[in-house]
């Protein structure tokens, strides 16, 4: 299941481009989405294509936490990083939470760590990086 494919979902095209390019330069296959509903449908239709989702928590029409939770119900082996403006964001799933203004090096470290471990649906623990 573990490929080096990542989906980044963020309504900010500039941030999406910066993160996408940095991850591509680190050897990852990256799909980028500015439309959260389109991204949700794509990942739902291709549940085993990605080993990691990086999702902005605050987007139009859907929250990143809600999207990540629903996609984990479809594929419990997905790894999810939520980008949030809230340092103390809590949830019922084992998501990695990164502050939205994360540095590229910290993002790459978090991605490398997330890719290297498996997160299961039964593992309901908040795990900030």
pLDDT in tens, the chain (129 residues): 445 899 999 999 999 999 999 999 999 999 999 999 999 999 999 988 998 999 998 888 888 888 988 998 888 888 899 998 765 555 555 678 888 888 899 999 989 988 876 533 334 444 444
User: 106 in helix, strand or coil?
Assistant: helix
Q: CA torsion 117→123→127→129, rounded to 10°?
A: 10
> Count of alpha carbons within 13 Å of 31, Cβ hemisphere only?
17
pTM above 0.75, yes or no: yes
C-alpha closest to that of 85 among 69, 65, 108: 65
Contacts of residue 22, Cβ cutoff 8 Å, sequence gap at least 6: 104, 107, 108
């Amino acid at each position: 299941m573990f490929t080096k494919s990542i989906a980044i979902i963020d309504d900010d095209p500039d941030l999406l481009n910066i993160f996408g390019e940095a991850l591509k330069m680190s050897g990852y296959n990256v799909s980028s989405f500015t439309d959260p509903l389109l991204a949700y449908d794509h990942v739902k239709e291709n549940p085993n294509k990605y080993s990691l989702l990086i999702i902005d928590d605050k987007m139009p029409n859907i929250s990143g936490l809600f999207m990540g939770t629903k996609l984990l119900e479809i594929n419990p082996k997905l790894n999810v990083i939520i980008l949030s403006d809230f340092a103390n964001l809590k949830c019922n799933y084992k998501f990695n939470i990164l502050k939205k203004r994360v540095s590229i090096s910290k993002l790459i470290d978090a991605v490398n760590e997330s890719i290297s471990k498996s997160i299961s649906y039964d593992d309901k623990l908040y795990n900030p990086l």
